[in-house]
Structure formats: structure tokens, C-alpha cells
Amino acid sequence: MKILREIIDKVKGPFQKGEKFEKFAPAVNAFDTFLFVPNHTTKYGSHIRDAVDLKRTMVTVILALLPALIYGIYNTGYQYYYQTGEEFTFLDAFIHGSLKIIPMIIVSYVVGLTIEFGFAVYRGHEVNEGYLVTGLLIPMIMPVDIPLWMVGLSVAFAVFIAKEAFGGTGMNILNPALTARAFAFFAYPTYMSGNKVWVSEASNIDSISGETILGSLAAGQQVDFSTSEMFFGSIPGSIAETSTLWVLAGGLVLILTGVGSWRIILGGFLGASIAGILFNLWGLNELMSFSWINHLFVGGLAFGIIFMATDPVSAAQTVKGKWIYGILVGVFCILIRVFNPAYPEGVMLAILLMNVFAPTIDHYVVEKNINRRKKRWALNQIKTA
Amino acid sequence: MQLAKNKIRVRKGFNINLEGEADRILVDLPESKTYGISPDSFFNVIPKMLVKESAKVKKGSPLFFSKNNPRITITSPVSGSVTAILRGEKRKIIEVIITSDNRNESETFETKDYVKLDEKSIKELLLKSGSWPFIRQRPYNTIASPEDNPKSIFISSFSTLPLSFDYNFCLKNNQDEFQLGVNVLKKLTLGKVFLAIDNTSKGFFDKIENVEKIYVEGPHPAGNSSVHIHNVDPINYGEKIWTVNPEDVVNIGIFFKTGIFSCKRTLAIVGSSVKNPKYYNSSIGTSVKNLIDFSNINYKNSRLISGDILSGKQVGPDNYIDFYSNTFCAIPEGDKHRFFGWIPFVDNFIPSMHKTSLSWIKSNKKKYKVDTNLNGEERALVVTGEMEKVFPLDIFPMQLIKACLNQDIERMEALGIYEIIPEDFGLIDYGSTSKIEAQKIIKEGIELMLKEVG
């Protein structure tokens, strides 16, 4: 390690303060701090600090995403071979999926990190780790057959408009990954919906097609998938959201490590369940009478609630606010699914909508605290007067 | 959170168990050759000198007064001569250094009949002798202003800080003086004198009379006065509450018993860089060099802290112990790199209140050796909810920090700036994922409040 350290210190020479390439220091530091936790010591306040940092927190989210990603890669191959009718092994499916998905992840990271590094150098601050998660999330929520250049363009839009325009990590109002998906959804609707995008190669081979369960229901068609298929995830859909089981496994990681808010997650499922049950009772159309339990398993609901609604920057920040925010995400998700056949999956729009309202929810929670204090002051004045 | 009357169970908080806690041994620290008083020890005091260099002083002779309130004087902790008045930028006074003449001469005051004295004369005696700065006020934690009538006085008899100070052990021979001090303080308020006692180890404090006792249990910051005040007698706009440290109650007691300014200061010399951490009988203003010479501190490549590990002040061997500090910590500096140290669940030898480390598994028993590494880099505020977990007051800490950053006085006031002091944010500093400096931000916020609102 010592030799590696010496090499890095040597490389960093020209990037030090006052040296020739000082401006590019954030870019070099990003690589350095990836290898080594820096030797910075405390200057103000507490003399000792917790072992946690933002890198550790973000990497925990990536760990939580891995089960869903691995299953998503497998399912991509599975759906393809299932349609073509070819014999296949787990490895075949996995390789097929990898060849499709890994390029998407690479494009997402290269485009996104290039912009992030550019902004870090331009603004003179360190590169934030937030994009490590966003960059993985974006391909995971896209249809598998989307062209790579669209992935790149969506990433660029999300990082520029949703994140950096607001001031960078920690300042954004909307979840960047969902913004990327929303951009692709509205800019290239034909690549984001219908029955020719969800199964690998469907856009190239005529015999392959597949609609998501929610898409079929919105079109008034019956679905012939069982509840267990919906739960385990061998269904067409965006890459990594199909398997509720593996998404929940990731959710468990987030809750146990305390990285994701269990209040938002529980609130989200609670809200969706309540809305689902109420619509089941009402039962006007296919989507309304679709069992509320199945509502929880299909589409991106679980993935959205566990990995996107819990984004601490765009979610509500107070404890009570998190409950309200979570529940409303769940309710709105089902509401959009049921009432708007043009958007068969409501979770993306529900979360983006609640992202916008999260500061308002917090405002009222904080305001309540303030009023309680002011009331105490007023009571006290009466007492002493 | 408040159970029965006068019983508080704190749920939000965190105990950091560190290596180097002081053994329950109390020894005398040899007298320091020089003593130093730093005006910076007193928040919001702008000093005006009353002595010049080489002036002779007795113990209790005034050194300087506060420009904000000329009645508040800081007096010498020892008899000798003023050898230096160190100044910094813009001639700001940094330290007043007194060289002891070993004669133990003191100013004497007529205090025998304190029982008969009224509030005004007691205040006058405390002010003249230099005992007044022992009393601090909320909001802001400045030296109390003698013109005020506080609605109550709070004494916290225990500390929940890491490497904490055991008042029960150190003051066990001063029970009478403590009682006397309490009796004197009682005369200064129309309200009650509250004594917060550790519910799990009550000790002699439970026998003290003339006070309203509060029994508290829970993790740090359960020992902080802010927590007790918030639960028992919350501060409203315009109100004043005073706080006094237990040892300073004893000092006030000794002063009224003897008529001589008492500046006794028991120091816990702690931390993993100290060979045999224990308690030392000492006096306010002792030099750090004196401590190093007698207490086996490995001070090379160590961080020396006057005060506790979460909020204390970094000092060097040439400095002096802070007026209010009763702890002196020495821990290794952490200026080294850790290879891939950011991976979750690695390097579990560093204590963490987050579950992305496995250090919580044994954290109840295991004592950790810590250094001053930041364990990461400063980042934008991303993670939410972590501050609230260690902040047992009905106040939104992150929103208050943001209000302070925005210098939004109205919002700071509405969010409860009167009810907290920077030290209450020690754990927030410690546990911050984004490595923010909450105590510094809050301190600057309070300074702004003092300037704009007063």
C-alpha cells in the first residue's frame, strides 16, 4: 500500500495548490479518495468523527441494488429465450442479459461522471458520490431495448437539468434517476411503452413481443401471469424492477443499515395497499379490480418506493414528513395506474409529484413545531403579565 | 419523553465508549509555575485590562472586566505577577499569564454571614471576588448578567460525554460546600434550583437539600443541561435561566465559607495517549506543560484538547487549560490514509453510530481507540434523519443549522436557538455523514443573535 500511496502522492504533485494544474485537483482527488480515505483531520467542532461518510452510504445503496440488478440481467435473457423457444441455461440467459445491460451501465456512468467531473472542476468542489447510485439506477429502470444513445441523452438531461442546474448534490428537487426516465418517457414514447420494448430484441425481431402487465391491463386485456410470477419477477418490464423478491432483499439491506428510511418504505406500501383495497371494492375497470396484492408486486412500485422514494435529498426530511410522503407516494401510484391508461405505471410520476411536494410537507411539519413554541411563549406572557 | 414529574428518560442519543477513561484515583497535581486565563474562554466577553504587565496580583485580584458589562470581572487564580499579556491580530488579547510567587496571598471578603445577606450583596460579593463567571446564562451560555433574575437555576451533576467526568467521585469530600453553594444560589432566583441526577448512580447528590431534583437516564446528551431545561422548565422568549457546573457550585460554597476566591478545578486527564488516566486536584488556569510533565502523556503526534472530546479546544504545550474545562484529553492525531476505508463494514475498529459499520455489535462493552481523522471528506448535506437520532429535544436540528447558515434570525428564533448551545450539537458533528461542523455553525448563529438581538 505504501508504494501505491507514494505513486499517488507523486502523481498529485502538479495538481496541488499553487501548481500548474490546480484547477483539475477535484478530478484527481476523486480517484485518490476512491483508493484511500484521506488523511484529513478534524479542525472545528468534535475532535473525533464517525467512520461513516458519503462514499460508504452510497456504496451501501449500490450493494442493495445488486440482487435486483443480477436478477434483472438474468430475466432479460430468460424473457428472450422464452420467446424464441431456444433451449438455454442460467448462464446463457445471464450472458445474454449482460451483453445488453452492461453497455447501458457503462454509457450511463461515462456520460454522467464526465458531466459531474466537469462541474466539480468548474465549481472547484470535490466530486460527490451521489452519481454512483444515480448512474446505476438509470439503466435499471429503462426498457431493455432502448438505444444506448437515448440512455446517454437521458443521463445528460438528468444531470444537467435535474441536478446541476439546482446546485448539484444535495440541492436537487427531483430525483435525478427518475427525471432521466421521465425525459425518455416523454421524449421517446415509442421506445418507452408498447409491446416491442420490454423484451430483449423485440424491436428487431418480429416474432418477439411482450407487454408489461400494467400495460396489458390498461389496454383492457387479461393477464395470464400468476401472483408468484409477479412476485418472483419472470415477467416483462423495465430491467431490474420485475422481481419484487430481490427488490425487497435490497430494501432489507437499506432498512437494516439505516441508509433508506423505513418510514418511507413502509408508508409507501401502506399507502398503495390502502388505495388498492379501496379500488378493489370500487372495481370499475380492469386495473381497479386487479387484486391489491398484485398491485404491490407488478410494475415498478416496489422498486420505486424502496430505491427512488427513499432518496434523502428529494424526499421529505422530517420524521413525520417521511410518513406522509411515503403514504402519498403509494396512494398516488395506484391512483395514476387506475385512472390514467396513458400512463399504465404510476410510480414514476407519483414519486416525481411527491418530490415537488416534499418541501411543502416538511414546511407544515416544521411550522407545527414553531407554532407549538410560539404558543408556549404566548401562554408564558399571559402567566407572567 | 418526560415520565413522571422530575423524571426524564432520554431515548435519542448515543454513547461513545472510548479507551482512556480516568480511573477513580484522585491525586494532587503539583502547582503550576505559570497560570493563564484566556478571555476566549468566556463566550462574548470583550476584555478590558485592569492590570499591566509585571503588576503584582493576589488570588482574587481583578485582571480584566467585560466591556459588555463592566461589573463582570475575571480575577487571578493565583498570587504572583502578571508576566505577559499575549495579543493576537488587531491587538486582541489571547492570554493573560501570571507567574506564581508561591506565597498564596489572597484577597479576602467578608462572607461569614451569608445567610443574612440579601440577593444584592451576594451578587456583589460574587462579582468582586471573580466567582461570578461560574454562573452562566441561557440563552447563549454567556456569563450571566447580574442585573437579571433568572426563572430557575440548573445544575447537572453528571456527564454523559465520552470519557466523562465523574462529579460524584471528585466532589464526594465537598458535600457541605456543595450544599452551601446551592443555598447561596437559591437566594439568586425567585424560582427553583434544579439538580439533575443520574438515575442509575445517584451518589451524594441525592442527599442535597434545598433543590428540586430531576432524575435522568439515557445515553448522551442526557447529561446536558439543555436537555433538562427543555423538559422541565423550557426557556421562552425573553426569559433567562442560569446554569452552574457542580464543581463551581462547590467553589461558590468554599468562597462563602472562607471569604477567599476559590478556583479549585479537578481535572480528568484522559484519552488513549495518556498512560495512567486519572483525576488531578488542580486549579483554574493550570498550564498544559505542567500536566504533560506529571501525567505521562505521550504528546508528540497527539491532539491535546482542553475540554471534552466532542467540543473542547485544541491546545498546545504552551497553552493553559480553559476556565471551564474539567477534562483534558490526549488522543493520537489521525493524519494517515486508510486503503479502501470507505467500503461498508470494513475498519470496524472505528466506532460508528451508523449501521453501515459492524462496530455497533460490541459497542456496549468494547472501548474504542480513536484518532482525529475525519474519516471522509466534507460533502453537501444528503442524508436526513441522522441528526434527529441523537438530538433529544423537540427542535429540528437540521432546519436550525440551515437557518444559521442562512443567517435568518427570525427563523433561528422560531426554531429554538434560545434553547440550545453549540455543545448540544457535539454528537451531530460526530455522526455526520457529510462531515459538517454543526457546532461551529450554531456558534456563529448565536454570535449573530447576540449582535443583532442581544
Query: With bands split at pLDDT 50, 70 and 90, how would you rate the model's confidence at A367?
Result: very high
Tell me which chain A residues have a C-beta less than 8 angstroms from the C-beta of B416.
373
- The model's pLDDT over B151-161, given as tens digits with 9 standing for 90+, comes to 999 999 999 99
Contacts made by residues B312-319, CB under 8 angstroms, sequence distance 24+: B312/A47, B314/A47, B315/B288, B316/B288, B317/B288, B317/B289, B317/B292, B318/B288, B318/B289, B319/B36, B319/B38, B319/B95, B319/B287, B319/B288
CB contact, 8 Å: B304 with chain A?
no
Whole-number mean pLDDT of chain B? 92
CB contact, 8 Å: B355 with chain A?
yes
To probe the interface with B, which of A7, A55, A56, A320 has the most B CB atoms within 10 Å? A56
User: Is there a domain that residue B428 lies in?
Assistant: yes
- The model's pLDDT over B44-89, given as tens digits with 9 standing for 90+, comes to 999 999 999 999 999 999 999 999 999 999 999 999 999 999 999 9
Query: With bands split at pLDDT 50, 70 and 90, how would you rate the model's confidence at B362?
Result: low
- B180, burial (CB in 10 Å: exposed 0-12, middle 13-18, buried 19+): buried
For residues A117-145, average pLDDT = 91
User: Is there a domain that residue B322 lies in?
Assistant: no
- The model's pLDDT over B399-453, given as tens digits with 9 standing for 90+, comes to 999 999 999 999 999 999 999 999 999 999 999 999 999 999 999 999 999 999 8
For residues A352-379, average pLDDT = 94
Cβ-Cβ contacts under 8 Å between A and B: the total is 215
Which helix (H) or strand (E) element contains residue B154?
Answer: strand B152-156
Let me know whether B383 and B246 are in one domain: no
* Contact state of B431 with A366 under an 8 Å Cβ cutoff: no
For residue B397, give how far its alpha carbon lies from the nearest alpha carbon of chain A (Å): 10
Domain count, chain B: 3
* Contact state of B384 with A315 under an 8 Å Cβ cutoff: yes
* Contact state of B372 with A35 under an 8 Å Cβ cutoff: no
**pLDDT tops 70 at residue A356:** yes
> In degrees to the nearest 10, what's the CA dihedral of B12, B17, B23, B24?
20
User: Is there a domain that residue B286 lies in?
Assistant: no
**pLDDT tops 90 at residue B454:** no
Domain count, chain A: 1
User: Is there a domain that residue B44 lies in?
Assistant: yes
pLDDT of residue B421: 95
To probe the interface with B, which of A1, A53, A383 has the most B CB atoms within 10 Å? A53
Which helix (H) or strand (E) element contains residue B65?
Answer: strand B62-66
For residues A62-69, average pLDDT = 96
- The model's pLDDT over A214-248, given as tens digits with 9 standing for 90+, comes to 888 888 888 888 889 999 989 999 999 999 999 99
Better pLDDT: A382 or A80: A80
Query: What ipTM was assigned to the predicted interfaces of this complex?
Result: 0.92
* Contact state of A59 with B343 under an 8 Å Cβ cutoff: yes
* Contact state of A369 with B415 under an 8 Å Cβ cutoff: yes
The DSSP symbol for B53 reads: T
Q: What percent of chain B has pLDDT over 90?
A: 77
Considering only CB atoms, B381 lies closest to which of A36, A170, A259, namely A170
Let me know whether B78 and B184 are in one domain: no
Which backbone phi and psi does B390 adopt, to 5 degrees?
-120, 25
Considering only CB atoms, B376 lies closest to which of A54, A169, A259, namely A54
Let me know whether B131 and B74 are in one domain: no
Show which of residues 157-196 on chain B sit within 8 Å of chain A, judged by CB atoms: 162
pLDDT of residue A211: 83
Let me know whether B49 and B167 are in one domain: no
- The model's pLDDT over A337-347, given as tens digits with 9 standing for 90+, comes to 888 877 778 89
Let me know whether B12 and B149 are in one domain: yes
Q: What percent of chain A has pLDDT over 90?
A: 60
**pLDDT tops 70 at residue A376:** yes
Tell me which chain B residues have a C-beta less than 8 angstroms from the C-beta of A173.
none
pLDDT of residue A30: 83
pTM for the full model? 0.93
* Contact state of A257 with B344 under an 8 Å Cβ cutoff: yes
Closest CA in chain B for residue A5: B337
Let me know whether B116 and B95 are in one domain: no
**Nearest to B74, CA basis, from B111, B102, B47, B103:** B47
User: Is there a domain that residue A192 lies in?
Assistant: yes
Tell me which chain A residues have a C-beta less than 8 angstroms from the C-beta of B375.
37, 49-53
**pLDDT tops 90 at residue B114:** no
Tell me which chain A residues have a C-beta less than 8 angstroms from the C-beta of B337.
5, 36-39
Considering only CB atoms, A52 lies closest to which of B388, B427, B433, namely B433
**Nearest to A131, CA basis, from A98, A93, A180, A85:** A180
What residue numbers bound the domain in which A302 lies?
54-369
Considering only CB atoms, B380 lies closest to which of A44, A169, A258, namely A169
pLDDT of residue B2: 44
**pLDDT tops 90 at residue A96:** yes
Let me know whether B114 and B93 are in one domain: no
User: Is there a domain that residue A202 lies in?
Assistant: yes
pLDDT of residue A192: 87
- The model's pLDDT over A18-51, given as tens digits with 9 standing for 90+, comes to 777 777 888 888 888 888 888 889 988 899 999 9
Let me know whether B134 and B212 are in one domain: yes
What residue numbers bound the domain in which B81 lies?
33-100
Give the whole-angstrom CA distance, residue A337 versus residue A325. Answer: 18
User: Is there a domain that residue B268 lies in?
Assistant: no
* Contact state of B303 with A50 under an 8 Å Cβ cutoff: no
pLDDT of residue B164: 86
Let me know whether B12 and B151 are in one domain: yes
Tell me which of B209, B232, B258 is where a domain ends: B258
User: Is there a domain that residue A19 lies in?
Assistant: no
Give the whole-angstrom CA distance, residue B242 versus residue B188. Answer: 10
Decide: B424 and B393 in contact? Cβ < 8 Å: yes
User: Is there a domain that residue A331 lies in?
Assistant: yes
Better pLDDT: B305 or B294: B305
Let me know whether B83 and B140 are in one domain: no
Q: Picking from A85-89, A272-276, B82-86, which range would have the lowest pLDDT averaged per residue?
A: A85-89
Show which of residues 229-288 on chain A sit within 8 Å of chain B, judged by CB atoms: 256-259, 261
Q: B65: domain CATH number?
A: 2.40.50.100
Let me know whether B196 and B63 are in one domain: no
Query: With bands split at pLDDT 50, 70 and 90, how would you rate the model's confidence at A385?
Result: low
Let me know whether B93 and B151 are in one domain: no
Whole-number mean pLDDT of chain A? 90
